[in-house]
Each structure stands twice: as structure tokens, then as C-alpha cells.
Structure 1
Amino acid sequence: MTPRQPEGEALPGAGVLPEQTSAASSSGRERPFSVYLHVPYCRVRCGYCDFNTYTNLAMGGGASAGDYVDTLAGELRLARAAMDRAALPPRAPQTVFVGGGTPTMLPAGDLAGMLTLVRDTWGLAPGAEVTTEANPETVDERYLAALAKAGFTRVSFGMQSAVPHVLRTLDRTHTPARVPQVVAWAREAGLETSLDLIYGTPGETMDDWRRSLETAVEIGPDHLSAYALVIEEGTRMWAQVRRGELPLPTDDDEAAKYELADALLNRAGYEWYEISNWARPGHECVHNQAYWRDWDWWGAGPGAHSHLGDVRLWNTKHPVAWAGRVAAGRLPVAGHEILDAESRELERVMLGIRTREGLELAGLARLGPHGPEPTTAHGTPARLVPVVGRLVGEGLLEGAAAMAGRAVLTLRGRLMADTVTRGLID
């Protein structure tokens, strides 16, 4: 099962973007720009996965794996033409991220060709970060060297766990011993490396999770992500849990595993910069930060989402339908929504509070009928002072940062980020 798409409005025309796609932020500064490319193919669909992925690589109609780059080229041409018609200034992408699915199901030459398409469409900013996700079993030394030669700078490997029985429960196809090998090959090619881990898998013990963390630290990537397993309705694992074949992870178990991850990773020199992400200093994923810092991006490929100004857009989900729209010369956008000021404010708080740099409280000040509301010397709205004080007292926000006008989560606060967000918004 692939995720349901949100409900939204059709575009004003087949290749026309809404006028609210202005590249200027509320501060008047031009937003940086990124590109996301979605590759929907996988060798095996994991039992927990609800991403827009498919194991059929020969769908036809321009949607087969062998046709993907050509169809993607068509979408990027249509996207650039639509942005030009909307009078959006050309912006060279600061980051490019190829995700999926398993992008490395495609030959390395295809990924190189996709990056060439981005360069031909928008250019590429000097020093741009270019990342692909990869399954450890789908790459080798030559493949990774080819990526580096093509201009990729970073590869993110789906490790998930170092414990065989946990990998089996997740339906992962790689062996634990493969991960250190591919990281070493990537490093030899000059690529930065990241490992993705999942905690809270049914049947995973605390010792299992510790083993995965210690193994990842020993491998020594530049960056680590650790995500709590969410069992989405409609997935195979969701059905297994409903039938009683697998135990449902508990909140307490996942919280304890998060605290263990933070402790072990800090000890190894990794610093958290977003709730689920740690990096050695200077190796944070810039593309991740683009989402949290309200950059613009174009998402290409089946089901990909885009963000331009106050507009969210999402592509037709099924690869055949996506390819058919591109072949007909129509942007493959299934729908869009225009975010109002209240939605943008909620989103800014929800995303900003997740980061180590935190949320500038002065940005929550309101303009009332009698002018700006009262604030402290650091710009914190006076109405929020007792709220922030309470959150500090409950150990959810760092006191020193709050005194300086920023909301920065403590370790406990990271486990209760939704509570903090509600407190600041309500």
C-alpha cells in the first residue's frame, strides 16, 4: 500500500503555477532552492514501508526503470517552463537529493544522467550537496566511484539494524557485514556517508538496539539518522500486528531507545541537530535542513512533493499515470494547496522546534489593532513568558536559550516536542 495523497485543488492550467509561488520569503529575502528526485523502484517492498514504491521495474508506458531518466527529463522541462511563466527567478539548487524507493536499483549512469538533467534545467550552486539513498546490497566499489565522478557528494545507506533477526522482521535484504564494506568504498571514493537506523522494531530488545548503535559508531559514518518505527495502517507489518503475530512497540520502549541513542552518539562525537539526526560537526545534511528552514524545492518523480512560496504541490502517484501526463506535455501535478498565514506559522514552529538551533521566540510576536504586542528585551512576546517559563520548569526547554529569546529542546523536550509546539502555539 502506498500513502494516500492529500486532497487539494488542480493547477490553474496544465502547466500554470499559482501566483502564490513567489520566491521571496516573508522577510523579503529570496529563498534558497533545492531539488528532490523520487525513484520509486525497490527489489523488495519492506513490511513496514508505506512510501510510494513498486517492485515492478517493467511497467511500460514510460514508467519502466529503463525509461525513468527520459521521463524525468520531460518533467523537469515542464517544471522549468512553468516556473519561468510564473516569473520565478532562476535559482541554482543548493542541494539535490535522490530518494525512493531504492535509487541504486538503477545503474550508476542513470543517476549521473539525473544529475546532468538538474544541471541542464537549473544549474547547480557551487559546493552544492548532492545525495543519493542506497541499499548496501545494490552498490559496489565501481558504482560508488562512478557516483563521485558524476558529482555526487554524499550517500545515505539504509542500515536499519545490525541484528539479523531485526532485519528479517523489517524484510531488509542486506546482510550486516555489507554495511562497513560499502561505507569504506564510499569513503575511498571521496563521498560523505550517512547511515539510517530504525528503533522499535517488534521483537527488538534494548541489547539489540545497543548492538546496532555500537556497530554504527564503529563503522564511523559522518552522519547518522535514527527513526522510531511507525507502523502505518495498510502495511504488511500493520496486518501482522493486528493478527497478533508481532507485538506493538510501546512509547516507553521507544523513548528509552532514543535516550540510549543520544547518549552513545554524543559519546562518539556526534551532535544532534534535529530530533532524529546526529552528525559530526560540519557534516549535517543540508538537504534535511532545507525542509526545516523553509527553503523552496521542486520534487520530481511519481508522488513527489514540491514547495514554492506559499504553495505545496504533489505529483500523480502511480508511475504509469505520472509518465502519461509527462508524455502528454502536462505537469504531473495531481493537486496543490495554498498555505495561509496561520498554517505557515504552525509549520514554522513545528519544524523550527525540532532543530538544535531552535526557534526564535521574537518571531511569534503578533501585530494587534493597537500596534505590536509587548515583548521582553530579547523580543519574546510578553504573553509567552509564563508559557516558556513553565516549559523550562518542566525540563522541556533549555533555560539559558530561553533567557536569550530562543526555544531549544532539552533531551526530555525532544521526546515531547508536540507538547512544546502546542504550548507555544496555543
Structure 2
Amino acid sequence: MPPSSLPDGEPVPASGELPGSALAGLATTDLGIYVHVPFCSVRCGYCDFNTYTLTELGPRDGSAAAIGLDTYADAALAELDLARRVLGDAALPVSTVFVGGGTPTMLRSADLVRVLSGIRERFGLTPGAEVTTEANPDSVTPESLAELAVGGFTRVSLGMQSAVPHVLATLERTHDPDNVARAVEAVRAVGMQVSLDLIYGTPGESLADWRRSLEAAVAMGPDHVSAYALVVEDGTKLAGQVRRGQVPMPEDDDEADKYELADELLTRAGYQWYEVSNWARSDGARCRHNLAYWSGANWWGVGPGAHSHVGGVRWWNAKHPAAYAARLVAGGSPALAREILSGDQRYDETVLLGTRIVDGLPLDVLRGSGRAAVAGLIADGLVDGPAAVGDGRVVLTRRGRLLADTVVHRLIAW
């Protein structure tokens, strides 16, 4: 199935040049770099990400624009050269790096380290910079992880999804559940932090199945846990199965029960929520790269289909690896289009993202109608009263996290 389509936007200059207004704040704000590796060994039935199996990409024709596992790092380094030219000295150094996908660890560890070294050489890294790669449990070995750790990676996010075989089968995940624990131990053995990613609401998953997955995750003692509700995206194989009645559509009440169970079990085990779908053992275990997204910070997205945001300008790269590489080979930006956010758009995003995190949204950020709505949200049990009255911040209750979209709608209503 093809991945989701990109939005429309205005053309991007071939040089990738940004307006001066977008660059103005770089010296006073952190910069993160996201690296998208679009390769997977198989396409999971629920996946709507910009990923491709090697079979889908087909044989490479030998041209300079061909891109595969062995040439991906060269293309990424070429885009990093562009990023350095566009952003200039004000962007130095980088505070977080996140390599996602796809399955980044389909690349050789040496190539992942080469991309990280390219970031370090062009931008520098702040002391204690957070450097994460996503991985499938079956795509790492003690040797490959040791090479990543020596090369500067500090964190691995493992796609566990579930501990229950029939749930993994519905998701078309191919890893052996027993390998998750082995991968966690291997990550720990080389001194990196480990996060586990879980999905709830898979068709056919019972509450007992979800409890089993949560308990299995907690037993492994990761530093961080993410738990996301399954979204059945149009165009995916899973959406077709739902449409044909082969599998049932997840129910909202079922997903709410599973979220509450996750928060209850993780809190009891010593994890604290810091974003609606994320829990960490300590402040130091929070994913700083993702926190930068939620705080509206700046990041450059490297790779096919990657999105970037700098100073209120958002742009996105050509999706197909060949189209992405061809633009770089021609000496131009791989960006397909961009949008310059209006003041109202930036305000709405500030409210949307700020309410998702445990630190909350300062009341004085809200416009008059939004501030007026807070009392009603407290009365409805969606916003924490003491945090609003005592600290001047909008912080969601557990029920508010379940109805976060409702809260945001009421805060930004005109």
C-alpha cells in the first residue's frame, strides 16, 4: 500500500533558502535533527508511514539518484550539507538527534554512525546531547548495539507493540516476542537508555491481552514507555480488512479503558506521564527530541518525506527515495513544498501541543476566550484545578487526556 499523501504547499526555492524571519531566532533556540530511514523488511498492515520494502523499490538502475541500503547514508549527508548552508552558524550546535523510520537498523550500524558523525562535523552536538534510533527487536545484535553506543548513540526505541502473538499477527509484526527482552538487555549492556513502543486497540485484542503486554513491558524495566492507540488509516491493508468486515473496528470505549489501564499500571510501576502517550521513569528519561516537537522548537528533517520546522516555516521532502535523491544529485533542495505559518496557526499549534505535556500550557498564553473556558474545563474534570489556580497552567487530568481534542477545541474557540 502507498504511504499517506503529503499536504499541498507553496514552492520551495531550489537552494532551500529560508526567510530571514525564520532564521532570526535560531541563536536562542535549540535545534534538533530528525533522520528518516524509509526502509522496512515487510510492510505491516496498519502502517501509513513513508516506508518501502526493498521489493517495492525494485532493482536500482545504477544511476546517481538510485538509493538503497548501501547508499542511503551518502544521500543523508548530502542533505546535511544543504542544511548547514541554509541554517548557517546560528544553528550550532544540535541538541537532539532522532533516527526513525521505517526500520533504521536495517542500515549497517556503521552507516548510522556515519550519519551521526556527519551531523557532529557540520553542526556539533551539545554536551549530553540525546541521540536516539528506533529499532525492531529482531534487527539488532549485541555487536551492532555496541557499535552504535561507541559511535555516540545514547538511546534506543524498540518497537515492541504487543507481547501477545495473535495481536502481533493481526498487526503483521514479524518479530519474536521473546526477542524484546533480549534486545532490552543488549541495549542496557552497552550503556544506552531503552524505550518500548506499544500499540493498543488492535482488532481482537482483549483488555486481558493489553494487560499482559503492559505487564511484560514493565517487567523488562525500560527507562521509557510509549503507548499509542491504533489508528486505522485509509489506504492501509488493515483499513481494507475493516471495510470488508474481516476484522472489527476498534471501539472508542475499549481504547479509553486500555489507556486508563496503561496509566494505572505504569504509574504504579514508577513511571510518570509527561505527554499524553508517553511515560518515563525520571525526568532524565523523557525523550527530549519529542519534547522539542511538543514545545514548538526547531528541527530539520533529513530523508525522503521528512518534515522540518524552523521559525514558523514548515516544509516536507519528496517522499519517494528516488525522487528525493534525484533532487539532491541535481544540486537542489529535496523539499517538495512548504508553508509559512500564520499567527493564528502558530497560536493554535501552541495550544494543541502545550496541553499535551505534563508541564502544561501557561494560562497567559491563552487569548481571552480560551482563558474564559478554563473554569468550565475544571468543572468538567478535564483540567487540573490546583495547577490552573496555583501555578497558572493548563494541565490535563487523566480524563482530560482521554478527551484532549475536546479540551483544545474549547481553548481555541473564537
Same fold, TM-score > 0.5, yes or no = yes
Instruction: Judge which range, 150-159 or 415-424, deviates more.
Output: 415-424
Match of 1:337 in 2: 339
1:394 is matched by which residue type in structure 2?
D
2:68 is matched by which residue type in structure 1?
S
Contact 1:36–1:97 under 8 Å retained in 2: yes
How far apart are the structure 1 equivalents of 2:73 and 2:289? 22
Deviation (angstroms), 1:385: 5.2
Deviation (angstroms), 1:310: 1.1
1:330 is matched by which residue type in structure 2?
G
Cα deviation 1:373-397 (Å, max 9, x = unaligned): xxxxxxxx5x555421111111000
Cα deviation 1:133-184 (Å, max 9, x = unaligned): 0000010111111110000000000000000000000010101100000100
Match of 1:35 in 2: 33
Deviation (angstroms), 1:78: 1.5
Residue 287 of structure 1, aligned match among 285, 289, 307: 289
Cα deviation 1:52-84 (Å, max 9, x = unaligned): 000016545331111101111111111211223
Contact 2:106–2:139 under 8 Å retained in 1: yes
Give the alignment of 1:77-226 within 5 angstroms.
Answer: 77-84=81-88, 89-226=90-227
Match of 2:239 in 1: 238
Contact 1:78–1:329 under 8 Å retained in 2: no
Residue 419 of structure 1, aligned match among 396, 402, 406: 406
Cα deviation 1:205-226 (Å, max 9, x = unaligned): 0000000000000011000000
How far apart are the structure 2 equivalents of 1:167 and 1:232? 18
Match of 2:385 in 1: 399
Contact 1:20–1:338 under 8 Å retained in 2: no
Structure 2 residue 47 is the aligned partner of structure 1 residue 49: yes
Q: What SS is found at the alignment partner of 2:126?
A: coil
Residue 66 of structure 2, aligned match among 62, 84, 89: 62
How far apart are the structure 2 equivalents of 1:350 and 1:90? 26
Match of 2:397 in 1: 410
How far apart are the structure 2 equivalents of 1:64 and 1:13? 24
Count the aligned residue pairs: 404
Unaligned 5+ segments in structure 2 are none
Instruction: Judge which range, 54-63 or 126-135, deviates more.
Output: 54-63
How far apart are the structure 1 equivalents of 2:372 and 2:335? 45
Deviation (angstroms), 1:23: 4.1
2:376 is matched by which residue type in structure 1?
R
How far apart are the structure 2 equivalents of 1:241 and 1:384? 38
2:148 is matched by which residue type in structure 1?
L
Q: TM-score, normalised by structure 2?
A: 0.95
Contact 1:22–1:310 under 8 Å retained in 2: no
Residue 326 of structure 2, aligned match among 306, 312, 324: 324
How far apart are the structure 1 equivalents of 2:263 and 2:188? 25
Contact 2:156–2:194 under 8 Å retained in 1: yes
Distance 1:315 1:64, change over 3 A: same
Cα deviation 1:68-108 (Å, max 9, x = unaligned): 01111111111211223xxx613211100000000000111
RMSD: 1.3
How far apart are the structure 2 equivalents of 1:104 and 1:236? 24
Q: What SS is found at the alignment partner of 2:22?
A: coil
- Compare the two structures and name the one with the higher helix fraction: 2
How far apart are the structure 1 equivalents of 2:396 and 2:317? 34
Match of 1:368 in 2: none
How far apart are the structure 2 equivalents of 1:16 and 1:256? 48
Q: What SS is found at the alignment partner of 1:79?
A: helix
Cα deviation 1:321-378 (Å, max 9, x = unaligned): 000010111010000000011000000000000000010011124xxxxxxxxxxxxx
Q: What SS is found at the alignment partner of 2:52?
A: coil
Q: What SS is found at the alignment partner of 2:53?
A: coil
